[in-house]
Amino acid sequence: GGEWGGAALLAVENAPPHRRNTFGMFPPLGAPVGFLAANGLFLIIGLVLDEAQFLAWGWRIPFLVSAVLVGLGLWVRLKLTETPAFLEAEKTEAIPRVPIAELLTRHLRATLAGTFGVIACFALFYLATAFALGYGTKTLGYSREAFLGVELVAIWFLAAGVILASVLADRYTAARMLGIGFAGCIVVGALMGPMLGSGSLVTVSLWLSGALFVMGFAYGPLGGWLPSLFPAGVRYTGVSMTFNLGGVLGGALAPIVAEALAPRGLGLVGVYLMAAGVLSLGGLLIVGRRAAA
């Protein structure tokens, strides 16, 4: 549960002071890279194999290929050392024995801010990928391969958004870029009903590409912003806890709520997405200028 947070800290705490958000974009950039690799492979397998072959054994191929990445990840973990910021904190301040208790008693405001700040990007991601794929194939009637192809194109816009927002965050602060992303989430939610529900593959493609580009702004700067909320002694726990709590609230609930609301109108799913954007804007307001990053 702490891998993303640990990766963000390693990137940010080893970065030059004026490039922390740029370095912090690499953990968020893993999402579009992983989606392209996994779903691109699924798409190729789906085009090569018939449905019976795919269901019998073809679906296992991507998981077997991922074993290589597991080995690579293990090798990286064995080579890691503590960051300079944490080593300095060990010398100059007492490291809490129970970091979660420290967070809830002395850093509750930052913990709430970080949790709310993560909700929008997860809600947007799962609605624009998992939910949209199901809606496109079951309700709109497109083939799985055709809609996966559309989503793979849209994911490139997510990667572009992550990179652009993170680079700009070093100039204009991560909080401002996140604010643009969260506000954009509200706009995307308002457009979800008329665009995703249009039935036109071109219009659906435009909505997906725009939604995931906006997600890049709501996600990329988190790599620099979340670590800025906490002191070094509890930073790892704080980033990991807020990222995962926000992920559960924004991501785990989104497909369930969307499936329940969709029969009553796709616009209601859009309202849910708008609410996620408002909650994340609230996370920025909780800490204000204190953690502009």
Q: What tens digit of pLDDT does each residue of 13-40 get?
A: 888 888 999 999 999 998 899 888 888 8
- Asked if residue 235 has pLDDT above 80, the reply is yes
Stated pTM of the model:
0.88
31 contact partners, CB below 8 Å, separation of at least 6: 125, 158, 162, 219
Domain 3-288: state its class. mainly alpha
pLDDT bucket at 274, cuts 50 / 70 / 90: very high
pLDDT bucket at 186, cuts 50 / 70 / 90: very high
- Asked if residue 188 has pLDDT above 80, the reply is yes
pLDDT bucket at 286, cuts 50 / 70 / 90: very high
- Asked if residue 224 has pLDDT above 70, the reply is yes
Residue 160's alpha-carbon distances to 21, 95, 154, 212, 260, in angstroms, are 15, 38, 10, 9, 32
- Asked if residue 94 has pLDDT above 70, the reply is no
pLDDT bucket at 77, cuts 50 / 70 / 90: confident
Q: How far apart are CA 8 and CA 111, in angstroms?
A: 16
74: left (phi over 0), alpha (psi -120 to 50) or beta: alpha
Mean pLDDT (the chain) is 90
Token look-up 């909080």 returns 175
32-41 long-range contacts (CB < 8 A, ≥24 apart) are 32/155, 32/156, 32/158, 32/159, 32/162, 33/159, 35/129, 35/152, 35/155, 35/158, 36/152, 36/155, 36/156, 36/159, 38/62, 38/66, 39/148, 39/151, 39/152, 39/155, 40/152, 41/65
Q: Would you list the domain boundaries of the chain?
A: 3-288
Q: What integer pLDDT is reported at residue 291 of this predicted model?
A: 54
Rg from Cα positions in the chain: 20
Sign of CA dihedral 278, 281, 283, 287: negative
Token look-up 């922390």 returns 20
- Asked if residue 292 has pLDDT above 70, the reply is no
Q: What integer pLDDT is reported at residue 132 of this predicted model?
A: 95
Q: What integer pLDDT is reported at residue 121 of this predicted model?
A: 96
pLDDT bucket at 62, cuts 50 / 70 / 90: confident
Q: What integer pLDDT is reported at residue 14 of this predicted model?
A: 85
